[in-house]
Amino acid sequence: MKAIVYHNYGSTDVLELKEVPKPIPKNNEVLIRIHETIITPTDCVTRKGTPFIIRFFNGLLKPKNPMLGAYPAGEIEAVGKDVKRFKKGDQVFGSTGTGLGAHAEYKCLPEEGVLAIKPVNMTFGEAAAVPYGALTALIFLRDKANLQKEQKILINGASGGVGTFAIQLAKYYGAEVTGVCSTSNKELVKSLGADKVIDYTKEDFTKTDQTYDIIFDAVGKSSFSHCKKSLKQKGIYLLTVPTLSIMLQMLWTSRFGSKKAMFAATSFAWSQKDLNFLKELVESGKIKSIIDRRYPLEQIAEAHIAVEKRHKKGNIVITF
């Protein structure tokens, strides 16, 4: 099968299109023929090996796993003899977790993993975006921040892959949402339900008198110290990027002060139950995926570059 592999950290030049052995499902696994997947910022930083903290999970000198990609969407081609929930021909979407390997034509996943039947009103690419963006936003907003009705939340990076879902989920839970984005993305953010939109090219939200119950930085472009005065007493700052700074701030604020800084390794908290919950929200019209553009597998380097520029709307899809 065709797959994208890399054996050294670096620029997009390290990515190679290769023929690799097609996986064989174990007794409890399904074999998915992938139709579409997505490229995420995590793919890009993992490929580069920076920030260095990434290498503690993926190899200090070179990647232990030569394949990237965590969000397959496609059709089940074969099932292991013990599989009961899925059958050949099912259209599915999900997450590989730390196993990665979704930037390939085939991937095996366990029946009990983060895997579900694809929403009927989504393309494969739109479905592939849900485990990344919506599950991430769900864990941060519902579980870490305990977002409540009528609370005020500011979402930094509101037009990105996580931010677009965070807006919709925050509105689902009844919050008042302020989205921060560039001028070109203001209409998109409004269309997703944001009550207010701040254009970061014209205004710094930390320099106003407005305060929030929750500040959710979905792109890693702020810091707790920079946002602290914009938080209400007992306010919560959420960051999706695992920096050394946020780890130290989590430890400090967990013991001192009323305002809290939080990070979560959300992929370890994802579940099939939550994925099916999000599927129901999709099929009922409560949330949707935003797709910026699609690239064929052969142009994956260009897709990485598009993600790294951080100006995309929603998600970048890879098609097979």
Looking at the fold, whether 165 and 116 belong to one and the same domain comes out as no
The pLDDT score that the predictor gives to residue 265 is: 67
| Nearest alpha-carbon partner for 317 in 143, 129, 181 | 129
- Number of domains, the chain: 2
Looking at the fold, whether 139 and 254 belong to one and the same domain comes out as yes
pLDDT in tens, 248-284: 676 677 777 788 888 776 666 789 999 999 999 999 9
pLDDT in tens, 129-179: 999 999 999 999 999 999 999 999 999 999 999 999 999 999 999 999 999
* Domain-terminating residue out of 267, 285, 305: 267
* Domain-terminating residue out of 231, 248, 267: 267
Residue 247 banded pLDDT, cuts 50, 70, 90: low
Range of the domain at 197: 131-267
* Domain-terminating residue out of 244, 267, 290: 267
- pLDDT at residue 242 tops 70: no
CATH of the domain at 218: 3.40.50.720
Looking at the fold, whether 260 and 275 belong to one and the same domain comes out as no
Beta bridge partners of 34: 74
pLDDT in tens, 201-238: 999 999 999 999 999 999 888 888 889 999 999 999 99
The pLDDT score that the predictor gives to residue 174 is: 98
Instruction: State the Cα–Cα distance between residues 77 and 290, nearest whole angstrom.
Output: 28
Looking at the fold, whether 143 and 116 belong to one and the same domain comes out as no
Side-chain-side CA neighbours of 180 within 13 Å: the count stands at 20
Looking at the fold, whether 241 and 261 belong to one and the same domain comes out as yes
Looking at the fold, whether 142 and 86 belong to one and the same domain comes out as no
Looking at the fold, whether 279 and 157 belong to one and the same domain comes out as no
pLDDT in tens, 22-32: 999 999 999 99
Looking at the fold, whether 50 and 117 belong to one and the same domain comes out as yes
pLDDT in tens, 60-90: 999 999 999 999 999 999 999 999 999 999 9
CATH of the domain at 67: 3.90.180.10
The residue among 18 and 240 whose pLDDT is bigger is: 18
pTM of the shown model:
0.92
Looking at the fold, whether 203 and 282 belong to one and the same domain comes out as no
- pLDDT at residue 244 tops 70: no
Looking at the fold, whether 216 and 234 belong to one and the same domain comes out as yes
Helix axes 300-308, 41-48, angle to 10 degrees: 100
| Nearest alpha-carbon partner for 237 in 188, 252, 112, 87 | 252
Looking at the fold, whether 237 and 288 belong to one and the same domain comes out as no
The pLDDT score that the predictor gives to residue 270 is: 86
Looking at the fold, whether 118 and 146 belong to one and the same domain comes out as no
